[in-house]
């Protein structure tokens, strides 16, 4: 493998790389060619000869060496590894059970000129922004490879754009049910307040205060019930993220 030295440093015991990739070579070579043309145009001018040589040299180092060696990505048998940098480095690791969705973008000009796209992975329970792979060859093929490695964890595909995790489906359904119950309770409270407006007893001294206290007690019970339900849902999500 091209990045075997990197994987030897970061892989765990008995962990193996199933697929490695990086920034598209076509993208890097195209940009290097454009800067080479610019450097040549500068180079043919006698006064700017060294400037043209420097442009080509810097472009060659940046696109053909630094960019290729400072972006190493891998799918192992248990996680995604993102290794960024050359002298100063940064490592990002995402377990497959943390993936909540995958989004693919193929901008028109990037797809037409470079044949590349954007591959983005969102995670749950980390508080980190989505992991974004820019200028990647065949992003849909990459998604299929990840589907194979994740197995049954990745189950629902909508037009090839979004992949959702199976073990979060029931939790999302519970949250939707909780929201619906809250809406019904709010509608019930509005109905009670409306009924009070047209109830003449509410304006009788003493009786109105009793009715208000009764409604306050019911509202307090409903609020406590909603808080306990939210805590239960939060605990269930935390158990999934462990």
Q: What integer is the mean pLDDT of 116-143?
A: 88
Predicted local distance difference test score (pLDDT) of residue 89: 92
Q: Is the pLDDT of residue 60 over 90?
A: yes
Q: What integer is the mean pLDDT of 200-207?
A: 47
Q: Please give the residue that has the higher pLDDT: either 73 or 211.
A: 73
Predicted local distance difference test score (pLDDT) of residue 70: 92
Predicted local distance difference test score (pLDDT) of residue 205: 47
Predicted local distance difference test score (pLDDT) of residue 238: 57
Q: Is the pLDDT of residue 25 over 80?
A: yes
Task: Give percent helix, percent strand, percent coil of the chain, each to the nearest 5.
Answer: 60, 25, 15
C-alpha span between 50 and 47 (Å, rounded): 8
Q: What integer is the mean pLDDT of 188-199?
A: 60
Q: Is the pLDDT of residue 128 over 90?
A: no
With 0-12 / 13-18 / 19 or more C-beta atoms within 10 angstroms meaning exposed / middle / buried, residue 154 is buried
Split at pLDDT 50, 70, 90, the class of 194 is low
Predicted local distance difference test score (pLDDT) of residue 231: 73
| 1-5, 54-58, 231-235, range with the lowest pLDDT | 231-235
What are residue 198's DSSP bridge partners? none
CA dist 81 → 12, 13, 25, 36, 126 (Å): 11, 15, 20, 33, 15
Q: Please give the residue that has the higher pLDDT: either 219 or 69.
A: 69
Predicted local distance difference test score (pLDDT) of residue 228: 74
Arithmetic mean of pLDDT over the chain: 77
The secondary structure element, H or E, covering residue 229 is: helix 207-241
Percent of the chain residues topping a pLDDT of 70? 65
Instruction: Kindly report, residue by residue over 130-181, the tens digit of the pLDDT.
Output: 899 999 999 999 999 998 888 744 433 333 444 444 444 445 555 666 666 6
Predicted local distance difference test score (pLDDT) of residue 62: 94
CA dist 160 → 20, 73, 105 (Å): 21, 21, 10
Predicted local distance difference test score (pLDDT) of residue 30: 94
Full-prediction pTM beyond 0.95? no
């Amino acid at each position: 493998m091209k990045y075997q030295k990197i994987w030897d440093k970061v892989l765990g015991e008995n962990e193996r790389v199933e697929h490695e990739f990086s920034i598209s070579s076509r993208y890097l070579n195209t940009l290097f060619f454009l800067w080479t043309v610019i450097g040549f145009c500068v180079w043919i001018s006698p006064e700017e000869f060294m400037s043209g040589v420097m442009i080509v040299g810097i472009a060659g180092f940046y696109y053909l060496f630094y960019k290729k060696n400072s972006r190493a990505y891998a799918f192992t048998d248990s996680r995604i590894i993102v290794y960024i940098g050359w002298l100063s480095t940064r490592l990002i690791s995402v377990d497959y059970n943390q993936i909540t969705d995958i989004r693919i973008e193929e901008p028109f000009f990037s797809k037409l000129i470079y044949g590349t796209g954007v591959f983005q992975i969102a995670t749950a329970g980390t508080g980190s922004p989505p992991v974004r792979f820019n200028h990647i060859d065949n992003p849909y093929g990459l998604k299929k490879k990840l589907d194979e490695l994740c197995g049954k964890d990745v189950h629902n595909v909508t037009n090839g754009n979004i992949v959702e995790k199976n073990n979060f489906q029931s939790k999302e359904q519970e949250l939707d049910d909780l929201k619906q119950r809250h809406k019904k309770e709010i509608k019930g409270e509005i109905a009670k307040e409306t009924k009070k407006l047209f109830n003449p007893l509410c304006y009788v001294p003493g009786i109105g205060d009793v009715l208000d206290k009764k409604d306050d007690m019911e509202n307090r019970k409903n609020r406590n019930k909603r808080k306990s339900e939210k805590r239960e849902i939060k605990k269930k999500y935390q158990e999934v993220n462990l």
